[in-house]
Amino acid sequence: GGAGNNLRFFKTAQFAQGKAYRDQVVVIAFDAQEPIGVGIQHGWYPYGPPAQVTKARGTTAIELDYESAFEVYRRTAASRGVELDVPGFASFAMTHPLGIPQASGEFVIRDPISVESDGSVRYVAEIPDGSLVRVMEGARADLLDAAAGAATMAREATPGPLGGAVVFDCVSRYLILGEGVRDELLRFQQALGEGVP
């Protein structure tokens, strides 16, 4: 996970033991007597056809299928009846991240931040050169259902009573859910059990 400040990338910090740290890493270790259940779901699903990352540098996809990454986004949106331009990209990108398919059938999600002057697209995390990707989509209900699904998956993988739960979430979900993030927390609590901290 990474620290963010609502994707402005001006000044970020990690918090631990009542202090804020810059240029540091916070590590949390669990020492459990019983197995720990893990559940991961995001609620995004494919929106566009597969494309190959034909040129990337770090967190920037320069080319997809030998065209500018933005052009592939624009054409994908147009095929679904959506006119997409650079000024409207930020709004579109909030609900259309890039998905990197995994062998399990799941997708690792990369949230777009901006379109650069050459048509490349910058993301929050690394875009592997040569990987296959899909433009994804998701709606509020899908994200909430995924939260409940992840909590249920973790609960079912844990024998006996739960001692507690740790939830990791992404700012991109908050940008979509807004104050509805409280509904997401409620869905976690319902799936795990009311008394589980």
Confidence (pLDDT) at 168: 85
Residue 8: what pLDDT? Answer: 63
pLDDT at 69 over 90: yes
- Reading the block at residue 44, the tokens are 């995004």
User: Does residue 21 carry a pLDDT above 90?
Assistant: no
In one-letter notation, the amino acid at residue 76 is T
Q: Where does the pLDDT of residue 15 fall: very low under 50, low under 70, confident under 90, or very high at 90 and above? A: confident
SS3 annotation, 12-53: CCEEECCEEECCCCCCCCCCCCCCCCCCCCCCCEECCCCEEE
Rounded mean pLDDT of 49-58?
Answer: 96
pLDDT for residue 170 = 79
Cβ(116)–Cβ(69) under 8 Å? no
Domain ranges of the chain: 14-34+141-192, 46-137
pLDDT digits (tens, 9 = 90+) for 132-181: 999 999 888 999 999 999 999 999 998 888 888 988 887 778 778 888 88
Q: CA gyration radius for the chain? A: 18
Average pLDDT over residues 65-70: 96
Q: Phi, psi at residue 72, to the nearest 5°? A: -65, -40
Confidence of residue 5 (pLDDT cuts 50, 70, 90): low
Using a 10 angstrom Cβ sphere, with 0-12 exposed, 13-18 middle and 19 or more buried, the burial of residue 72 is buried
Minimal CA–CA distance to 141: which of 91, 169, 113, 180? 180
Cβ pair 36, 30 in contact under 8 A: yes
CATH 2.40.10 fits domain 46-137:
yes
pLDDT in tens, 74-128: 999 999 999 999 999 988 988 899 999 998 888 999 999 899 999 999 998 899 9
Better-scored residue on pLDDT, 16 or 6: 16
Burial pattern 123-151, b for ≥16 Cβ within 10 A else e, equals bbeebeeebebbbbbbebebbbebbbbbb
Q: Phi-psi category of 41—alpha, beta or left, where left has phi over 0 and alpha has psi -120 to 50?
A: beta
- Give SS3 for 67: strand
Q: What is the pLDDT of residue 34?
A: 82
